[in-house]
Chains A and B, each alone.
Chain A
Amino acid sequence: MQIKGDTFEVGYDPATVTIIFKGSMRLRGLDEYAPIIELMNKIADGAPLVITLDLQELNFLNSSGINMLFGYVIKVRDQACSQLLVRGATQVPWQTKSLQNLQRLMPTLQLEMV
């Protein structure tokens, strides 16, 4: 399962329940993020034990994308069925600035910065 744009791709590994984001995402509002949100929601609705978001190779995310990400964390938090693990990279500056807020939204979220 994969969604590709000009500058990004989003893939899913069902064996590890990992959603992998790569590239640069500057889509115009949540309407354009809709296919990605749909994929992510489908995985959450399956209520797996742990959902992993691998952002290590996501070099840029605009505020609409941050809104999408945070919205997903809230959804998973409120459904209270799955744990969330977010993998980020300390070498990617936006991640060291923005990802820590995810834990403020969902204290049980595990954030691994490699």
Chain B
Amino acid sequence: MDHKFVFEGIGTKWVINLYQLNRGVELKNLEKAILDRVEKFDKDYSRFRQDSWVWKLSQNPGLYHLPPDGKKMFDIYSKLYQATGGKFTPMIGDLISATGYDHLYSFVSKNVSTLKSWDEVLAVKGADIEIFSTALLDFGAAGKGYLVDILTDLLKEYSNSFSINASGDIYAFNCTEKVGLENPFDTSQVVGVVDIKNMSIAGSATNRRVWGKYHHIFDPTTLESTAGVVAVWVIANEAIIADAIATCLFLVGPEDLNEFDFEYLILDSKMEARYSKGFQGALFSVTN
């Protein structure tokens, strides 16, 4: 009695497969609970809507209360900001917007300039955050993965076997999903397959969100989109980690990210792959 729930959320397509439902669960209640939680997350962290918490912080300095799930978000961003020497930063929202991928989807570049540092912009103080100097924060690098984890915890109340696919960030709970690794140069193909069970995989690539000379992953030290790496997949216990690390691997090498536990596969523009020892799956190449 499999049930598939497809919806749009935080700017992309979600597919939840329910392979089992606990006794007494009504699907419409479950679906509503999911959509409500997705909307709350969007209203907190989206830089695309002017009624969001992130938009409010971008307008005025001051002391603001963090959303309950905010502490973990800033904690991970802080660790990766330090590990990447500031290349992985929530302040990237200002740069992405300036190059055109703004809340109006104007795709016109204006006022591209260096980003403020973490300490210039904000400090987390317990359940609050102080904004010293405004910036448009963007949590796209880890937000989708975080929401996968949040919905996983929610779904465990309703189902003992399900998977969530947030457009490439996948968590499989008590089931095995055979995940094809999409070829960024030809999306009718996959370059490999990996089994995911009670783990998360995040996929990132530069082929879709493209405008002018830019794609959506930026290096704040060059003020340009990154070059060289075209696709990354990361496997970790939590989707927030998989998602965040996947973005980091466009900016730094895996050796810089030792504090975290993950497996990875990096594909470059020459169709060469580099992968961690524990990244287990099939990878297709000319000789096999």
Report if A and B associate in a common complex: no
